[in-house]
């Protein structure tokens, strides 16, 4: 027999009873104990820059501790380190504001002879914001048309043909309107085979922006004896004394448009139709 028993210095006598501390990620939601103070709490914040971790106990009180050793996780000593951010999933193809797949680093195409005429400055700005990337890739130039009354003269100057197609976007193109009569006359004329005239049903392109993007249930109804844009501004409590006020109102509306999803389908389909028409090979 060994009268002195087991050698107390045999083995790893320096090893703590709970085992040696190992590194562990400080993950939100994990419950740990800070050894020195006995504070037990859920990890609710990790500050990488400051090197701290915030613990919230069952009474919702919070304390901040330095990251590192001195914690117990499931009863075992750990050295808390900031969690490694998960690798982002491979990004899908970037899409343009119109919803098309973006062609990265592609130079703008040399402009086609075909054109799109857009009635109204605000209409042109909206088309540029949503479809601008697509139009540059396709080499399509959008020209501002002051009014549909001038369309016939523009076409005489432009001389549409098989390789010089013209697409035209007109406001408030509804049956029986002045705009529809002008459009029908042009389509029956000598340029009709190479021209496509489409329009949206809205009084003004402002209405093509979904009203909830502006916090509205619907666009206000304006009496016919009141200029529509001024009436809208008045109903919404916006300044409307002069053209500068109207311009600021439009810029506010335009700022709420980030992509095609912010526009009404009645406009989306018409613009896509024109792009298809003038880019046919």
Tens-place pLDDT, residues 46-62: 888 888 899 988 888 88
Residue 275 CB partners (closer than 8 Å, separation 6+): 116, 131, 134, 135, 138, 140, 167
How sure is the predictor about 5, in pLDDT bands with cuts at 50, 70 and 90?
very low
pLDDT of residue 48: 83
Which DSSP helix (H) or strand (E) runs through 123?
Answer: helix 121-138
Q: What is the dihedral of CA 11, 17, 22, 28, to 10 degrees?
A: 170
Q: Strands 39-47, 52-56: parallel, antiparallel or unpaired by DSSP? A: antiparallel
The share of the chain scoring above pLDDT 70, in percent, equals 84
Tens-place pLDDT, residues 61-116: 889 999 999 999 888 899 999 887 655 545 566 677 766 666 665 555 666 888 89
Helix, coil or strand: residue 116: strand
The one-character DSSP state at 22 is: E
Can you give the three-state secondary structure of 138-168, one letter per residue? HCCEEEEECCHHHHHHHHHHHCCECCECEEE
Q: State the average pLDDT for the chain.
A: 84
Does residue 93 or residue 223 have the better pLDDT? 223
């Amino acid at each position: 027999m060994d009268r002195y028993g087991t050698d107390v210095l045999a083995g790893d006598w320096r090893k703590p009873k709970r085992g040696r501390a190992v590194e562990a990620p400080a993950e939100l939601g994990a419950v740990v104990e800070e050894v020195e103070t006995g504070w037990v709490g859920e990890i609710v914040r990790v500050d990488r820059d400051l090197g701290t971790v915030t613990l919230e106990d069952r009474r919702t009180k919070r304390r901040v501790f330095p990251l590192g050793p001195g914690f117990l996780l499931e009863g075992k000593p750990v050295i808390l380190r900031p969690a490694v951010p998960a690798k982002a999933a491979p990004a899908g193809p970037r899409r343009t504001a119109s919803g098309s797949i973006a062609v990265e680093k592609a130079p703008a195409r040399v402009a086609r002879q075909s054109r799109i005429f857009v009635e109204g400055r605000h209409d042109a700005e909206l088309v540029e914001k949503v479809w601008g990337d697509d139009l540059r890739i396709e080499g399509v130039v959008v020209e501002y048309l002051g009014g549909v009354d001038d369309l016939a003269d523009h076409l005489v100057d432009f001389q549409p043909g098989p390789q010089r197609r013209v697409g035209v976007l007109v406001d408030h193109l509804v049956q029986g309107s002045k705009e529809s009569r002008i459009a029908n006359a042009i389509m029956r004329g000598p340029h009709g085979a190479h021209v496509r005239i489409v329009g949206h049903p809205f009084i003004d392109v402002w209405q093509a922006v979904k009203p909830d993007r502006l916090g509205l249930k619907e666009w206000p109804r304006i009496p016919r004896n009141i200029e529509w844009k001024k009436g809208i501004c008045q109903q919404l409590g916006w300044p409307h004394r002069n053209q500068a006020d109207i311009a600021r109102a439009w810029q506010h509306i335009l700022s709420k448009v980030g992509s095609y999803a912010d526009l009404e389908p009645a406009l989306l389909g018409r613009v896509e139709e024109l792009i298809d028409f003038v880019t046919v090979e």
